[in-house]
Chains A and B, each alone.
Chain A
Amino acid sequence: MKKIIITLMAIASLTFISCANDDGTKADLRWKNKTSSTTVEDIKWVSSEGKTDQVWDGSYNSGTATNYKGINALAGTGECISGGNPATIEFDTTDYEGTISVTTNSATIQENAAATLSIANTAKK
Chain B
Amino acid sequence: MQTIMAFLIGALFAASIYMMLRRSIVKLVIGLILLSNAANLLIFTVSGLTRGLPPLIPEGAALPEGGWADPLPQALVLTAIVIGFGVLAFAVVLIHRAYEVINEDDLDKMRSTDT
Are chains A and B native binding partners rather than an unrelated pairing? no
B contact set with A: CB distance below 8 Å: none
A contact set with B: CB distance below 8 Å: none
